[in-house]
C-alpha cells in the first residue's frame, strides 16, 4: 500500500504492533471517524466505540457500544461496561469544537492504560478555513488542534508526537513506570519556553492559528509518516 492511502486506522494498527497494544476504544460522532470497520479487523480485544451526536446509524453497519444523541457523554462514561476499564489505544475523532475536543482528549487519556496511546485526529488543519472554531459544512478540522496542543503542553511530563498523515494524527503516550515518568519530566524542562509562547495566545483562535502555522513543527512535534512507519515496523 502506498503511503498516501495510509490513514488514522493504519496508524493505530502500527502503534498496536510496535507497543503490543491489544485493546481499542474509539470516541467519535456520527459525522467523524468512519474507520471503525478497519480497526475491528485488527484483532483488538476488546474493540469498542462510543458515538455521540448520534443522529444516524453508522454506515459500516457494525454495533455501537455506547451512544449519546447529543454532546453529553457522561452516561456513556458511567456505563458499567466502560467504568473502570482501560484500553491500550483510545482513538479520538471528536466534534471539532474546542469544548468537545478538549473534553474527549481528557477523557481518552483517563481511559488509556499506562504504556498505551491516545490517538487524536485532525491535529493538522491545512488552512484557516478548515480550522474554523464553529462547524462549517464539508472539510472541517475545527480547533481540535488547539485542544490537543493545550493538553500536551499543559501536561509537559507526557511524551507525544504528531504524524503528518490524514489531516494530522496526534499520538499521546501515557507513561508506564517510574523510569518513563522521570525521563518525561526531564524532557518537560526543555519545553517550558514553548509552553509560555503558546499560552500567550490565550483563547484567541485567530492568534492561535497564526502561531500554529508559524511554528507547527515544534508545537506538534511533527513526524514524517514514511520515516515513522519504518521505525515502528
Cβ neighbours for 40, distance < 8 A, ≥ 6 positions apart: 47, 62
Q: Could you list the pLDDT tens digit for every one of the 233 residues in the chain? A: 344 567 999 999 999 998 999 999 999 999 999 999 999 999 999 999 999 999 888 999 999 999 999 999 999 999 999 999 999 999 999 999 999 999 999 999 999 999 999 999 999 999 999 999 999 999 999 999 999 999 999 987 889 999 999 999 999 999 886 555 555 555 655 567 788 889 999 999 999 999 999 999 999 999 887 776 666 65
For residues 102 and 105, give the distance between their C-alpha atoms in angstroms, rounded to a whole number: 5
For residues 28 and 180, give the distance between their C-alpha atoms in angstroms, rounded to a whole number: 30
What are the structural domains, with CATH classification, of the chain? Answer: 3-232 (3.40.50)
pTM: 0.92
Helix (H, G, I), strand (E, B) or coil at 134: coil
Q: What is the DSSP letter of 51?
A: E
Residue 191 CB coordination number (10 Å):
16
Q: In Å, how far from its chain's centre is CA 161?
A: 11
212 forms beta bridges with none
Cβ neighbours for 103, distance < 8 A, ≥ 6 positions apart: 73, 94
Q: Is the dihedral angle over the CA atoms 212, 149, 172, 92 positive or is it negative?
A: negative
Residue 124: name the closest of 228, 220, 206 by CA.
Answer: 220
Q: What is the DSSP letter of 159?
A: E
Amino acid at each position: 500500500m502506498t503511503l498516501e492511502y495510509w490513514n488514522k486506522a493504519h496508524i493505530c494498527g502500527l502503534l498496536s504492533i510496535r507497543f503490543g497494544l491489544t485493546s481499542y476504544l474509539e470516541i467519535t460522532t456520527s459525522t467523524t471517524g468512519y474507520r471503525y470497520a478497519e480497526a475491528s479487523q485488527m484483532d483488538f480485544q476488546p474493540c469498542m466505540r462510543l458515538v455521540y451526536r448520534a443522529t444516524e446509524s453508522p454506515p459500516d453497519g457494525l454495533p455501537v457500544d455506547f451512544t449519546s444523541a447529543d454532546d453529553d457523554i457522561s452516561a456513556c462514561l458511567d456505563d458499567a461496561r466502560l467504568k473502570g476499564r482501560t484500553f491500550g489505544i483510545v482513538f479520538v475523532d471528536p466534534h471539532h469544537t474546542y469544548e468537545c475536543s478538549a473534553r474527549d482528549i481528557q477523557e481518552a487519556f483517563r481511559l488509556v492504560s499506562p504504556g498505551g496511546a491516545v490517538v487524536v485526529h485532525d491535529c493538522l488543519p491545512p488552512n484557516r478555513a478548515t480550522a474554523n472554531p464553529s462547524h462549517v459544512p464539508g472539510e472541517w478540522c475545527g480547533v481540535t488542534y488547539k485542544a490537543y496542543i493545550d493538553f500536551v503542553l499543559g501536561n509537559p511530563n507526557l511524551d507525544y508526537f504528531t504524524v503528518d498523515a490524514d489531516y494530522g494524527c496526534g499520538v499521546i503516550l501515557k507513561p508506564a513506570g517510574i523510569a518513563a515518568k522521570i525521563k518525561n519530566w526531564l524532557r518537560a524542562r526543555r519545553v517550558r519556553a514553548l509552553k509560555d509562547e503558546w499560552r500567550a495566545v490565550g483563547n484567541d483562535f485567530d492568534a492561535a492559528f497564526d502561531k500554529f502555522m508559524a511554528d507547527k513543527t515544534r508545537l506538534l512535534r511533527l513526524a514524517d509518516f514514511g520515516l515513522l512507519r519504518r521505525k515502528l515496523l
